[in-house]
Structure 1
Amino acid sequence: MSLITTEWLEKNLFKEDIKVLDCSWHMPNTKRIGKDEFLKEHIPGAIFFDIDKFSDPLAKFPHTIPSADLFEKLASELGINNSDHIIVYDSLGIFSAPRVWWMFNYFGHKKISILDGGLIKWKNENKKIENGPEKKFIKSSFKCITKHEMLVLIDQVKENINNKKFELVDARSRGRFNGTENEPRPNLKSGSIPKSCNIPWTECIDPITKCFLSKEQLQKKFEEININKNSNVVFSCGSGVTACIVAKAFEIIDGKKFSVYDGSWTEWASQ
């Protein structure tokens, strides 16, 4: 149950093993701050998960996955236990929460779900909202079991151009992928990695409900670029966030072999 409904969460919200994480993050050019918005409104009992904080502080590129040691430390400070059923959501419906879903999967957490439609759907249904800081939580002792196969590095992407071992799917907009639209990060050229293909993350989401499209609709998206559930697929984007939306869409169609190129276009275009 890696995708849950607002109805399910409302019924199970206050169960002891449920931890709800507000993973709201916004592109730098939007001038929006996830934590500020969390303080104004969030799902009752939610904890703010700072994607920028849960990144390698020494990395050259944004959102680089942190070490297992750092992830354990930060997750423990939030009171997260390995036995918890973690529910992740964000304020845009589906945007940054899948990144956190992927991170917990990468570090071996078994019970992790995305709230389909996120805070937008929750609010549209007039469900309860609270404001202010999180309640105090007891520090835990979270432990990682890293699944290294879920992460791909730049050397593997380079090698794949001439010795194809996986399909590379870019989640950015078609304009950014084709080089006709500016990147949101200053001084970064647009374009695409050789032999990659494109499924914009926005095309996996219903524009009205902000939920994922149906399994059948998503299947057609992948079939259009000759990918099926048995393909070995690596997902990329600008900095590793929206890649995880399309990775989640692939999992919805029962795709098994998928990973994320964490450096994504920001790293590739900076060479």
Structure 2
Amino acid sequence: MSKADDIFISMCQDIIENGTTTEGQKVRPHWEDGTPAYTIKQFGVCNRYDLREEFPALTLRRTALKSCMDEVLWIYQRKSNNIHDLKPHIWDEWADEDGSIGKAYGYQVGQVSHYADGDYDQMDRVLKDLRENPFSRRIMTNLYTFSDLSEMHLYPCAYNAIYNVTEHPGDDKPTLNMVLVQRSQDVLAANNWNVCQYAILLMMVAQVSDMHAGELVHMIADAHIYDRHVDIVRELISRPTYPAPKVHLNPYVHDFYDFTTDDLIVEGYSHGPQVKDIPIAI
């Protein structure tokens, strides 16, 4: 099986068998019919994916990898907070009549800050530091700006990407790793989507920095399965699994701002049937 399948199955089993419930508590999310959306959850989940071994796509069902990449480009390359700049419709529920999701996600990446050596937005600073000072321990992006939360239509879930470079004797080039910090995650709807997104982001940034893409460490403070998802998850993790797909980027792209979804190459992606009509808590 894909190692991502193994991690996902173990995580879901642990949540269902050993997690705690929010049933009866005051919760913000609700279903479309107005019913409170309760969860079974585990606190402090940490999963590791080594991109040097395989790409971490689930095979239990298909993850739409080009759509994952499009959302990553929307946030970190286009630096947009408007759904009209995004092909997938995953943000439609939170957009206003103009398509804006408020001062969230790409808006935060595009904010310019002053440094001793100039003014840079968050992504440009990451790319500069990886070129000029790659062993710095300060290379990161952060989407959780407290002063802007009241103007975000949804608080950011995956909000902090920390880049870290390693190099062993004999390596032909350095390896770029990432820690992704997530405050909250709907495991059924979003887990592998987020994993694949940030794996692709790591691959893109590594390529334009002339590094190997290494480990993605995914830290989730509140990993939860919604009450109406439990039976769906039980069926999903009982399915047969397949080897991980081969996922590559167009090797001729050397500028982060030149990537498009056409530059993502996916080969040999065998997977189970899609899970349709998943109810989404809002």
Provide TM-score, normalisation by structure 1.
Answer: 0.27
Provide TM-score, normalisation by structure 2.
Answer: 0.26
Higher relative CO (Cα under 8 Å, sequence separation at least 6) belongs to: 2
State which structure, 1 or 2, has the greater radius of gyration over its C-alpha atoms: 2
